[in-house]
Amino acid sequence: MPKFVITGGHKLSGEITVKGAKNAALKIIPAALLSEETITIKNLPQIEDIGKSFDLLSDLGAEITLAGDQATINPKNINKIELQAKLADKFRTSVMFVGPMLARFGEVKFPHPGGCVIGAGSRPIDLFLEGFKAFGADVQEESGKYYHVKAEKLHAANFFFPLVSVTVTESLMMTACLIPGRTVLNNCAMEPEIEALAEYLNSQGAKISGAGTPKIIVEGVEKLKAGIFTVMPDRIETGSFAIMAAATRSEIKITNCNPEHILSLLSVFDKTGIAYEKGENWLLIKKNNGYQAYDIRTHEYPGFPTDLQSPYIILMSQAQGTSLIQETIYDRRLIWTDMLSQMGANIVMCDPHRVVVSGPSKLYGKKLMSPDIRAGIALVIAALIAEGTTEIDNIYQIDRGYEKLDERLKNLGAVINRVE
Protein backbone atom coordinates (compact mmCIF):
# COMPACT_ATOMS: atom_id res chain seq x y z
CA MET A 1 0.00 0.00 0.00
CA PRO A 2 1.62 3.34 -0.99
CA LYS A 3 2.34 5.95 1.66
CA PHE A 4 3.48 9.56 1.90
CA VAL A 5 6.77 10.31 3.64
CA ILE A 6 6.87 14.00 4.53
CA THR A 7 9.65 16.01 6.16
CA GLY A 8 8.19 19.05 7.83
CA GLY A 9 9.42 22.55 8.53
CA HIS A 10 9.99 23.74 4.96
CA LYS A 11 8.33 27.02 3.96
CA LEU A 12 6.10 26.70 0.93
CA SER A 13 5.72 29.28 -1.82
CA GLY A 14 4.42 29.72 -5.34
CA GLU A 15 1.19 28.85 -7.11
CA ILE A 16 -1.11 25.87 -6.98
CA THR A 17 -3.94 25.25 -9.44
CA VAL A 18 -7.23 23.86 -8.22
CA LYS A 19 -8.65 20.85 -10.08
CA GLY A 20 -12.25 20.17 -11.04
CA ALA A 21 -14.61 19.52 -8.14
CA LYS A 22 -14.84 15.88 -7.10
CA ASN A 23 -18.34 16.32 -5.74
CA ALA A 24 -19.57 17.91 -8.98
CA ALA A 25 -17.89 15.42 -11.32
CA LEU A 26 -19.20 12.43 -9.37
CA LYS A 27 -22.80 13.47 -10.14
CA ILE A 28 -22.32 14.35 -13.79
CA ILE A 29 -21.15 10.83 -14.63
CA PRO A 30 -24.38 9.12 -13.44
CA ALA A 31 -26.37 12.02 -14.95
CA ALA A 32 -25.24 10.63 -18.33
CA LEU A 33 -27.67 7.76 -17.74
CA LEU A 34 -30.62 10.14 -18.16
CA SER A 35 -29.95 10.64 -21.85
CA GLU A 36 -29.34 8.37 -24.83
CA GLU A 37 -27.07 10.95 -26.45
CA THR A 38 -23.35 11.50 -26.01
CA ILE A 39 -22.18 13.84 -23.29
CA THR A 40 -18.80 15.50 -22.92
CA ILE A 41 -17.26 16.35 -19.57
CA LYS A 42 -14.33 18.77 -19.28
CA ASN A 43 -11.98 19.63 -16.40
CA LEU A 44 -12.45 16.22 -14.78
CA PRO A 45 -10.24 15.61 -11.76
CA GLN A 46 -8.13 12.47 -12.17
CA ILE A 47 -8.91 10.83 -8.86
CA GLU A 48 -9.82 7.35 -7.64
CA ASP A 49 -13.59 7.80 -7.29
CA ILE A 50 -13.94 9.14 -10.84
CA GLY A 51 -12.20 6.02 -12.17
CA LYS A 52 -14.59 3.86 -10.14
CA SER A 53 -17.62 5.74 -11.52
CA PHE A 54 -16.42 5.11 -15.07
CA ASP A 55 -15.86 1.41 -14.30
CA LEU A 56 -19.43 1.16 -13.07
CA LEU A 57 -20.86 3.05 -16.03
CA SER A 58 -18.84 1.02 -18.49
CA ASP A 59 -20.03 -2.22 -16.83
CA LEU A 60 -23.60 -1.08 -17.49
CA GLY A 61 -22.80 -0.84 -21.20
CA ALA A 62 -21.80 2.81 -21.75
CA GLU A 63 -18.96 3.64 -24.15
CA ILE A 64 -16.45 5.96 -22.49
CA THR A 65 -13.55 7.76 -24.15
CA LEU A 66 -11.01 9.42 -21.90
CA ALA A 67 -8.41 11.98 -22.99
CA GLY A 68 -6.59 13.77 -20.16
CA ASP A 69 -9.13 15.73 -18.16
CA GLN A 70 -11.89 15.24 -20.71
CA ALA A 71 -14.33 12.38 -21.19
CA THR A 72 -17.10 11.56 -23.60
CA ILE A 73 -19.81 9.14 -22.62
CA ASN A 74 -22.15 7.41 -25.04
CA PRO A 75 -24.91 5.88 -22.92
CA LYS A 76 -27.06 4.63 -25.83
CA ASN A 77 -26.31 0.93 -25.40
CA ILE A 78 -26.75 0.67 -21.64
CA ASN A 79 -28.55 -2.61 -21.20
CA LYS A 80 -28.23 -3.63 -17.55
CA ILE A 81 -30.35 -2.72 -14.56
CA GLU A 82 -27.99 -4.06 -11.90
CA LEU A 83 -25.02 -2.30 -10.27
CA GLN A 84 -22.45 -5.03 -9.65
CA ALA A 85 -21.61 -5.29 -5.96
CA LYS A 86 -17.87 -5.63 -6.51
CA LEU A 87 -17.83 -2.26 -8.32
CA ALA A 88 -20.60 -0.36 -6.52
CA ASP A 89 -19.85 -1.17 -2.89
CA LYS A 90 -16.42 0.50 -3.17
CA PHE A 91 -17.67 4.09 -3.15
CA ARG A 92 -20.56 6.05 -1.72
CA THR A 93 -21.59 7.84 -4.91
CA SER A 94 -22.47 4.58 -6.67
CA VAL A 95 -25.88 5.32 -5.11
CA MET A 96 -26.11 8.33 -7.46
CA PHE A 97 -26.61 5.90 -10.37
CA VAL A 98 -29.84 4.57 -8.90
CA GLY A 99 -32.19 7.52 -9.50
CA PRO A 100 -31.22 8.06 -13.16
CA MET A 101 -31.44 4.30 -13.84
CA LEU A 102 -34.86 4.13 -12.20
CA ALA A 103 -36.03 7.10 -14.28
CA ARG A 104 -34.73 5.58 -17.53
CA PHE A 105 -35.46 1.86 -17.05
CA GLY A 106 -38.04 1.72 -14.23
CA GLU A 107 -35.95 -0.80 -12.28
CA VAL A 108 -32.57 -1.03 -10.51
CA LYS A 109 -30.80 -3.59 -8.33
CA PHE A 110 -27.86 -2.33 -6.27
CA PRO A 111 -25.79 -3.07 -3.15
CA HIS A 112 -25.39 -0.79 -0.15
CA PRO A 113 -22.71 1.72 -1.20
CA GLY A 114 -19.26 1.93 0.44
CA GLY A 115 -17.14 5.06 1.10
CA CYS A 116 -15.54 7.00 3.96
CA VAL A 117 -16.48 5.86 7.45
CA ILE A 118 -17.49 9.26 8.75
CA GLY A 119 -21.23 8.96 9.32
CA ALA A 120 -23.47 6.76 11.40
CA GLY A 121 -22.84 3.04 10.73
CA SER A 122 -22.09 2.48 7.07
CA ARG A 123 -23.73 5.82 6.14
CA PRO A 124 -27.44 5.36 5.60
CA ILE A 125 -29.30 5.66 2.28
CA ASP A 126 -32.79 5.73 3.85
CA LEU A 127 -33.57 9.18 2.41
CA PHE A 128 -32.79 8.06 -1.14
CA LEU A 129 -35.15 5.14 -0.70
CA GLU A 130 -37.86 7.37 0.80
CA GLY A 131 -37.54 9.65 -2.22
CA PHE A 132 -37.84 6.77 -4.73
CA LYS A 133 -40.93 5.54 -2.88
CA ALA A 134 -42.43 9.04 -3.10
CA PHE A 135 -42.04 8.75 -6.90
CA GLY A 136 -44.14 5.56 -6.77
CA ALA A 137 -41.35 2.96 -6.73
CA ASP A 138 -41.49 -0.22 -4.70
CA VAL A 139 -38.30 -0.84 -2.66
CA GLN A 140 -37.34 -4.35 -1.59
CA GLU A 141 -34.36 -4.71 0.77
CA GLU A 142 -32.33 -7.79 1.59
CA SER A 143 -31.20 -7.09 5.17
CA GLY A 144 -29.92 -3.63 4.24
CA LYS A 145 -27.27 -5.11 1.91
CA TYR A 146 -28.98 -5.34 -1.44
CA TYR A 147 -31.88 -3.32 -2.81
CA HIS A 148 -34.34 -3.80 -5.63
CA VAL A 149 -36.21 -0.65 -6.66
CA LYS A 150 -38.95 -1.04 -9.27
CA ALA A 151 -41.87 0.96 -10.60
CA GLU A 152 -44.64 0.14 -13.07
CA LYS A 153 -45.14 3.87 -13.55
CA LEU A 154 -43.31 6.67 -11.78
CA HIS A 155 -45.19 9.81 -10.83
CA ALA A 156 -44.18 13.33 -9.79
CA ALA A 157 -43.92 13.95 -6.05
CA ASN A 158 -44.02 16.65 -3.42
CA PHE A 159 -41.13 15.76 -1.11
CA PHE A 160 -39.84 17.36 2.09
CA PHE A 161 -36.30 16.41 3.15
CA PRO A 162 -36.39 15.65 6.89
CA LEU A 163 -32.71 16.57 6.94
CA VAL A 164 -30.68 18.53 4.45
CA SER A 165 -28.71 16.20 2.20
CA VAL A 166 -26.54 17.11 -0.76
CA THR A 167 -26.57 13.82 -2.65
CA VAL A 168 -30.23 13.03 -1.98
CA THR A 169 -31.22 16.48 -3.28
CA GLU A 170 -29.18 15.81 -6.42
CA SER A 171 -30.47 12.28 -6.81
CA LEU A 172 -34.16 13.21 -6.60
CA MET A 173 -33.64 16.27 -8.81
CA MET A 174 -32.05 14.07 -11.51
CA THR A 175 -34.70 11.35 -11.20
CA ALA A 176 -37.57 13.85 -11.47
CA CYS A 177 -36.25 15.16 -14.81
CA LEU A 178 -37.77 12.21 -16.69
CA ILE A 179 -40.91 11.74 -14.55
CA PRO A 180 -44.05 13.28 -16.03
CA GLY A 181 -45.58 16.10 -13.99
CA ARG A 182 -44.33 18.69 -11.52
CA THR A 183 -42.07 17.54 -8.69
CA VAL A 184 -41.50 19.89 -5.78
CA LEU A 185 -38.53 19.26 -3.49
CA ASN A 186 -38.52 21.17 -0.19
CA ASN A 187 -35.71 21.77 2.33
CA CYS A 188 -33.09 21.05 -0.33
CA ALA A 189 -29.34 21.40 0.09
CA MET A 190 -27.97 24.56 -1.57
CA GLU A 191 -24.39 23.61 -2.51
CA PRO A 192 -23.04 25.26 -5.71
CA GLU A 193 -22.52 21.80 -7.21
CA ILE A 194 -26.31 21.31 -7.15
CA GLU A 195 -26.86 24.53 -9.07
CA ALA A 196 -24.22 23.51 -11.61
CA LEU A 197 -25.85 20.11 -12.07
CA ALA A 198 -29.26 21.76 -12.64
CA GLU A 199 -27.82 24.25 -15.14
CA TYR A 200 -26.25 21.39 -17.04
CA LEU A 201 -29.42 19.28 -17.07
CA ASN A 202 -31.40 22.34 -18.23
CA SER A 203 -28.92 22.77 -21.09
CA GLN A 204 -29.85 19.18 -22.09
CA GLY A 205 -33.56 20.03 -22.08
CA ALA A 206 -34.57 19.47 -18.45
CA LYS A 207 -36.89 21.96 -16.72
CA ILE A 208 -35.49 22.62 -13.27
CA SER A 209 -35.91 25.84 -11.32
CA GLY A 210 -34.80 26.89 -7.86
CA ALA A 211 -31.58 24.82 -7.64
CA GLY A 212 -29.29 26.55 -5.11
CA THR A 213 -32.35 27.47 -2.98
CA PRO A 214 -34.28 25.29 -0.49
CA LYS A 215 -37.14 24.71 -2.98
CA ILE A 216 -36.48 23.00 -6.29
CA ILE A 217 -39.21 22.49 -8.87
CA VAL A 218 -38.78 20.00 -11.70
CA GLU A 219 -41.20 19.71 -14.61
CA GLY A 220 -40.65 16.27 -16.12
CA VAL A 221 -39.68 16.01 -19.79
CA GLU A 222 -39.70 13.04 -22.15
CA LYS A 223 -36.00 12.93 -22.90
CA LEU A 224 -32.71 14.75 -22.48
CA LYS A 225 -30.36 15.51 -25.34
CA ALA A 226 -26.56 15.64 -25.65
CA GLY A 227 -24.62 18.05 -23.45
CA ILE A 228 -21.23 19.52 -22.54
CA PHE A 229 -20.30 20.09 -18.92
CA THR A 230 -17.21 21.82 -17.57
CA VAL A 231 -16.59 20.81 -13.97
CA MET A 232 -16.35 23.81 -11.63
CA PRO A 233 -13.22 24.31 -9.49
CA ASP A 234 -13.17 22.25 -6.29
CA ARG A 235 -14.08 24.54 -3.41
CA ILE A 236 -12.86 22.03 -0.80
CA GLU A 237 -9.45 21.80 -2.51
CA THR A 238 -9.39 25.61 -2.58
CA GLY A 239 -10.15 25.78 1.15
CA SER A 240 -7.69 22.98 1.99
CA PHE A 241 -4.86 24.78 0.18
CA ALA A 242 -5.80 28.11 1.79
CA ILE A 243 -5.62 26.49 5.23
CA MET A 244 -2.35 24.76 4.30
CA ALA A 245 -0.82 28.12 3.33
CA ALA A 246 -1.98 29.82 6.53
CA ALA A 247 -1.03 26.96 8.88
CA THR A 248 2.47 26.67 7.38
CA ARG A 249 2.77 30.49 7.40
CA SER A 250 3.53 30.49 3.71
CA GLU A 251 2.49 32.80 0.90
CA ILE A 252 0.66 30.79 -1.75
CA LYS A 253 -1.45 31.84 -4.73
CA ILE A 254 -4.32 29.49 -5.43
CA THR A 255 -5.43 29.70 -9.05
CA ASN A 256 -8.39 28.41 -11.09
CA CYS A 257 -10.65 28.67 -8.05
CA ASN A 258 -13.81 30.51 -7.09
CA PRO A 259 -13.25 32.34 -3.76
CA GLU A 260 -17.01 33.12 -3.62
CA HIS A 261 -17.57 29.43 -2.84
CA ILE A 262 -15.53 29.55 0.36
CA LEU A 263 -16.76 32.80 1.89
CA SER A 264 -17.45 31.00 5.19
CA LEU A 265 -13.74 30.15 5.49
CA LEU A 266 -12.58 33.59 4.35
CA SER A 267 -14.84 35.26 6.90
CA VAL A 268 -13.14 33.15 9.58
CA PHE A 269 -9.73 34.22 8.19
CA ASP A 270 -10.91 37.84 8.68
CA LYS A 271 -11.70 37.08 12.33
CA THR A 272 -8.42 35.27 13.03
CA GLY A 273 -6.20 37.84 11.31
CA ILE A 274 -5.07 35.70 8.37
CA ALA A 275 -4.52 38.09 5.48
CA TYR A 276 -5.44 37.30 1.89
CA GLU A 277 -6.26 38.94 -1.43
CA LYS A 278 -8.73 37.58 -3.93
CA GLY A 279 -9.86 38.01 -7.50
CA GLU A 280 -12.56 36.37 -9.57
CA ASN A 281 -10.64 33.11 -10.00
CA TRP A 282 -7.65 33.34 -7.65
CA LEU A 283 -6.86 33.63 -3.97
CA LEU A 284 -3.56 34.76 -2.48
CA ILE A 285 -2.92 33.73 1.12
CA LYS A 286 -0.33 36.08 2.63
CA LYS A 287 2.52 34.95 4.85
CA ASN A 288 1.59 35.42 8.51
CA ASN A 289 3.43 35.72 11.82
CA GLY A 290 0.67 34.21 13.89
CA TYR A 291 -3.11 34.42 14.07
CA GLN A 292 -5.88 34.07 16.64
CA ALA A 293 -8.07 31.09 17.49
CA TYR A 294 -11.72 31.19 16.43
CA ASP A 295 -14.66 28.82 17.10
CA ILE A 296 -16.50 27.17 14.22
CA ARG A 297 -19.57 24.99 13.82
CA THR A 298 -20.01 23.04 10.60
CA HIS A 299 -23.17 23.76 8.65
CA GLU A 300 -24.72 23.03 5.27
CA TYR A 301 -23.70 25.46 2.48
CA PRO A 302 -23.21 28.39 2.65
CA GLY A 303 -22.11 27.68 6.25
CA PHE A 304 -18.72 26.31 7.27
CA PRO A 305 -18.25 23.02 5.32
CA THR A 306 -17.81 19.79 7.24
CA ASP A 307 -15.24 18.86 4.56
CA LEU A 308 -12.94 21.68 5.80
CA GLN A 309 -13.41 20.88 9.47
CA SER A 310 -10.43 18.47 9.63
CA PRO A 311 -7.90 20.86 8.02
CA TYR A 312 -9.32 23.67 10.20
CA ILE A 313 -8.39 21.75 13.34
CA ILE A 314 -4.73 21.77 12.21
CA LEU A 315 -5.03 25.50 11.57
CA MET A 316 -6.32 26.01 15.11
CA SER A 317 -3.55 23.82 16.57
CA GLN A 318 -1.18 26.57 15.35
CA ALA A 319 -3.36 29.55 16.44
CA GLN A 320 -2.97 31.72 19.54
CA GLY A 321 -5.63 30.68 22.05
CA THR A 322 -8.41 28.16 22.40
CA SER A 323 -11.15 27.26 19.92
CA LEU A 324 -14.20 25.05 20.02
CA ILE A 325 -14.87 23.03 16.87
CA GLN A 326 -18.36 21.54 16.50
CA GLU A 327 -19.14 18.93 13.86
CA THR A 328 -22.87 18.90 13.18
CA ILE A 329 -23.15 16.82 9.98
CA TYR A 330 -21.33 13.54 10.69
CA ASP A 331 -21.06 11.38 13.80
CA ARG A 332 -17.52 10.09 13.35
CA ARG A 333 -15.61 12.94 11.80
CA LEU A 334 -13.62 13.95 14.87
CA ILE A 335 -12.23 10.56 15.91
CA TRP A 336 -9.08 11.05 13.83
CA THR A 337 -8.00 14.00 16.04
CA ASP A 338 -6.47 11.40 18.32
CA MET A 339 -3.66 11.11 15.73
CA LEU A 340 -3.08 14.83 15.90
CA SER A 341 -2.76 14.62 19.67
CA GLN A 342 -0.10 11.94 19.15
CA MET A 343 1.80 14.50 17.05
CA GLY A 344 1.75 16.95 19.96
CA ALA A 345 -1.44 18.96 19.42
CA ASN A 346 -3.43 19.99 22.48
CA ILE A 347 -6.91 18.67 21.74
CA VAL A 348 -9.63 17.70 24.20
CA MET A 349 -12.61 15.77 22.89
CA CYS A 350 -15.72 16.87 24.78
CA ASP A 351 -18.04 14.42 22.98
CA PRO A 352 -18.15 12.87 19.48
CA HIS A 353 -19.29 16.20 18.00
CA ARG A 354 -17.02 18.71 19.80
CA VAL A 355 -13.31 19.22 20.35
CA VAL A 356 -11.44 22.04 22.08
CA VAL A 357 -8.10 22.92 20.49
CA SER A 358 -5.48 25.00 22.30
CA GLY A 359 -2.60 26.47 20.37
CA PRO A 360 -0.02 27.02 19.27
CA SER A 361 1.47 23.53 19.72
CA LYS A 362 4.72 22.17 18.41
CA LEU A 363 4.01 19.10 16.25
CA TYR A 364 6.37 16.14 15.79
CA GLY A 365 6.60 13.62 12.94
CA LYS A 366 4.85 10.26 13.51
CA LYS A 367 3.73 7.15 11.68
CA LEU A 368 0.06 7.63 10.89
CA MET A 369 -2.78 6.21 8.84
CA SER A 370 -5.20 8.30 6.74
CA PRO A 371 -8.76 7.43 7.84
CA ASP A 372 -10.67 9.42 5.18
CA ILE A 373 -10.08 12.01 2.46
CA ARG A 374 -10.37 15.15 4.57
CA ALA A 375 -8.64 13.86 7.69
CA GLY A 376 -5.98 12.64 5.22
CA ILE A 377 -5.27 16.12 3.82
CA ALA A 378 -5.31 17.45 7.39
CA LEU A 379 -2.59 14.95 8.36
CA VAL A 380 -0.55 16.03 5.32
CA ILE A 381 -0.78 19.67 6.47
CA ALA A 382 0.19 18.64 10.02
CA ALA A 383 3.19 16.74 8.62
CA LEU A 384 4.31 19.82 6.65
CA ILE A 385 4.39 21.77 9.92
CA ALA A 386 5.85 19.04 12.14
CA GLU A 387 9.46 18.68 13.19
CA GLY A 388 10.96 15.53 11.67
CA THR A 389 9.48 13.00 9.32
CA THR A 390 5.89 11.77 9.16
CA GLU A 391 4.74 8.64 7.37
CA ILE A 392 1.11 8.60 6.29
CA ASP A 393 -0.20 5.19 5.34
CA ASN A 394 -3.45 4.36 3.48
CA ILE A 395 -3.02 7.37 1.16
CA TYR A 396 -5.47 5.69 -1.16
CA GLN A 397 -7.97 7.69 0.91
CA ILE A 398 -6.21 10.97 0.00
CA ASP A 399 -5.93 9.99 -3.67
CA ARG A 400 -9.71 9.57 -3.67
CA GLY A 401 -10.08 13.34 -3.37
CA TYR A 402 -6.86 15.13 -4.33
CA GLU A 403 -5.25 14.57 -7.72
CA LYS A 404 -1.48 13.92 -7.62
CA LEU A 405 -1.20 15.80 -4.36
CA ASP A 406 2.48 14.92 -3.82
CA GLU A 407 3.56 16.30 -7.21
CA ARG A 408 1.60 19.51 -6.72
CA LEU A 409 2.95 20.08 -3.21
CA LYS A 410 6.51 19.41 -4.37
CA ASN A 411 6.09 22.33 -6.77
CA LEU A 412 5.46 24.53 -3.73
CA GLY A 413 8.68 23.35 -2.07
CA ALA A 414 7.23 20.62 0.16
CA VAL A 415 9.41 17.63 0.94
CA ILE A 416 6.93 14.85 0.23
CA ASN A 417 7.49 11.47 -1.37
CA ARG A 418 5.15 8.72 -2.42
CA VAL A 419 6.63 5.41 -1.37
CA GLU A 420 5.17 2.31 -2.99
Q: What positions carry a catalytic annotation?
A: 116
**Of the residues 3, 4, 19, 23, which one makes contact with ligand EPU according to CB under 6 A:** 23
Contact 119/331 with Cβ under 8 angstroms? yes
**Is the bond preceding 113 in cis, omega lying within 30 degrees of 0?**
no
Should residue 51 be labelled a site residue for ligand EPU when binding is judged by CB under 6 A?
no
Map residues 353-392 to x or -, x wherever contact with ligand EPU holds by CB under 6 A: --------------------xx------------------
**Of the residues 4, 97, 110, 128, which one makes contact with ligand EPU according to CB under 6 A:** 128
**Of the residues 32, 50, 102, 125, which one makes contact with ligand EPU according to CB under 6 A:** 125
- Least distance to ligand EPU, CB of residue 218, Å: 18
Should residue 47 be labelled a site residue for ligand EPU when binding is judged by CB under 6 A?
no
Contact 27/189 with Cβ under 8 angstroms? no
Q: Which residues of 236-265 are buried (b: 16+ CB within 10 A; e: fewer)?
A: bbbbbbbbbbbbbbbbbbbebbbbebbebb
Measured at the alpha carbon of residue 44, what is the angle toward residues 222 and 268, in degrees to the nearest 5?
A: 105
In whole angstroms, what is the distance from residue 282 CA to residue 417 CA?
27
Contact 159/216 with Cβ under 8 angstroms? no
**Of the residues 1, 120, 222, 280, which one makes contact with ligand EPU according to CB under 6 A:** 120
Should residue 318 be labelled a site residue for ligand EPU when binding is judged by CB under 6 A?
no
One-character DSSP codes across 95-121: GGGHHHHHHHHSEEEEEPP---S-SST
Total residues at interface with ligand EPU (CB under 6 A): 26
Beta strands 3-7 and 389-393 are antiparallel
CB of 166 or CB of 293, closer to ligand EPU: 166
Should residue 26 be labelled a site residue for ligand EPU when binding is judged by CB under 6 A?
yes
Contact 219/244 with Cβ under 8 angstroms? no
Should residue 97 be labelled a site residue for ligand EPU when binding is judged by CB under 6 A?
no
- Least distance to ligand EPU, CB of residue 290, Å: 29
- Least distance to ligand EPU, CB of residue 360, Å: 27
Which residues, numbered 202-221, are part of the site for ligand EPU (CB under 6 A)?
none
Burial zone of 140 (CB within 10 Å; 0-12 exposed, 13-18 middle, 19+ buried): exposed
**Of the residues 33, 166, 274, 314, which one makes contact with ligand EPU according to CB under 6 A:** 166
CB of 75 or CB of 115, closer to ligand EPU: 115
3-state secondary structure of 42: strand
Of 347, 342, 343, the closest CA to residue 325 belongs to 347
CB of 183 or CB of 306, closer to ligand EPU: 306
CB of 92 or CB of 104, closer to ligand EPU: 92
Of 199, 183, 160, 152, the closest CA to residue 24 belongs to 199
Of 15, 19, 11, the closest CA to residue 415 belongs to 11
CB of 208 or CB of 274, closer to ligand EPU: 208
In whole angstroms, what is the distance from residue 230 CA to residue 336 CA?
34
Should residue 165 be labelled a site residue for ligand EPU when binding is judged by CB under 6 A?
yes
> Phi and psi for 110 in degrees, rounded to 5?
-155, 155
Amino acid identity at 134: A
* Contacting range for ligand EPU; rule: CB under 6 A; set: 139-147, 282-290, 303-311, 402-410: 303-311
In whole angstroms, what is the distance from residue 209 CA to residue 224 CA?
16
Should residue 307 be labelled a site residue for ligand EPU when binding is judged by CB under 6 A?
yes
* Contacting range for ligand EPU; rule: CB under 6 A; set: 99-107, 160-168, 196-204, 378-386: 160-168
- Least distance to ligand EPU, CB of residue 192, Å: 11
* Contacting range for ligand EPU; rule: CB under 6 A; set: 114-122, 179-187, 247-255, 355-363: 114-122
Contact 32/56 with Cβ under 8 angstroms? no
**Of the residues 272, 306, 337, 370, which one makes contact with ligand EPU according to CB under 6 A:** 306
CB of 197 or CB of 382, closer to ligand EPU: 197
- C-alpha gyration radius of the chain: 21
CB of 30 or CB of 359, closer to ligand EPU: 30
**Of the residues 9, 14, 124, 352, which one makes contact with ligand EPU according to CB under 6 A:** 124
Contact 370/382 with Cβ under 8 angstroms? no
Residues that bind ligand EPU (CB under 6 A): 23, 26, 93, 116, 119-120, 123-128, 163, 165-168, 189, 305-307, 329-330, 373-374, 401
